[in-house]
Amino acid sequence: MDNERRKFLAIFSTLSIASFIPHNRSQKNTSNMYGLISKIKVATGKREKLASILLGGISGMPGCLSYVVAADTTEEDAIWTTEVWDSKASHEASLSLPSVQEAITLGRPLIVGFDARHETEPYGELELGSPD
């Protein structure tokens, strides 16, 4: 009896979790995708300004699938950037774009250092759409 109850709970849990997954969202192709996650140490009191500069410099970046700038929740003067690109070549090419060069020039004086930098190979991207 206990074994049957476990099976039922396992199936019920799986179905319950599946019901929360939106069915109108699509998963993107993952071949050759490139990811970069970085923790940036910021000059005291300059986190919001740097985040604004970074977010302002991302327009028109061909191949950029996702670019997130987030406040570190444990360090007041640190931010994280999480990037997903269709390829490493697209990421490298973005560094020469005028908007990115301007963001680098404006942001550099606000950066104290880089605490972490991790390259990743994303498995995929779930297209969530804009929040309403």
Q: Is the model's pLDDT at 76 over the cut of 50?
A: yes
**What are the residue ranges spanned by the domains of the chain?**
34-120
Reduced to 3 states, what is the DSSP secondary structure of residue 129? coil
Instruction: For residue 132, give the 3-state DSSP assignment.
Output: coil
CATH of domain 34-120: 3.30.70.100
State the pLDDT at residue 10. 45
pLDDT above 80 for 50? yes
pLDDT at residue 34 greater than cutoff 60 = yes
Give 111's DSSP letter.
E
Residues 9-13 have a mean pLDDT of 43
Q: Using H for helix, E for strand and C for coil, what is the string for 11-62?
A: HHHHHHHHHCCCCCCCECCCCCCEEEEEEEEECCCCHHHHHHHHHHCCCCCC
What's the pLDDT at 131? Answer: 62
Res 21: pLDDT: 38
Could you tell me which residues are beta bridge partners of residue 84?
35, 66
Mean pLDDT confidence for 124-128: 72
